[in-house]
Amino acid sequence: MSKNKTFTGPLAEHIQRFLNEKRSLGYKYEEQERVLYVLDQMSKQFDCSNGLPKNLCLAFIIWL
């Protein structure tokens, strides 16, 4: 995934911190970043104010 891509959904901060932690441990997390970017984009369609909604999880699983 391009380094210019930024996460902009309601989970963006959590996703970016997760990726930063994994990379600080030496993991590349390139394909995983691409998948998490899809989750980030999908999350914009759901109310994530109280965490991960069930409907988002189900939609993401179907996408996988």
Backbone angles phi, psi at 18, to 5 degrees: -60, -50
Work out the mean pLDDT of the chain and round it to a whole number: 93
User: What is the torsion angle, in degrees rounded to the nearest 10, for the CA atoms of residue 43, residue 33, residue 13 and residue 53?
Assistant: 30
5 domain-assigned: no
Among 3, 56, 57, smallest CA distance to 30 is for: 3
Q: Report how many domains make up the chain.
A: 1
Sign of the Cα torsion 7, 12, 17, 18 reads negative
| Mean pLDDT to the nearest integer, 39-51 | 96
Task: Show the domain range for 56.
Answer: 12-63
pLDDT at 30: 93
Rounded CA gap, 34 and 14, in Å?
Answer: 15
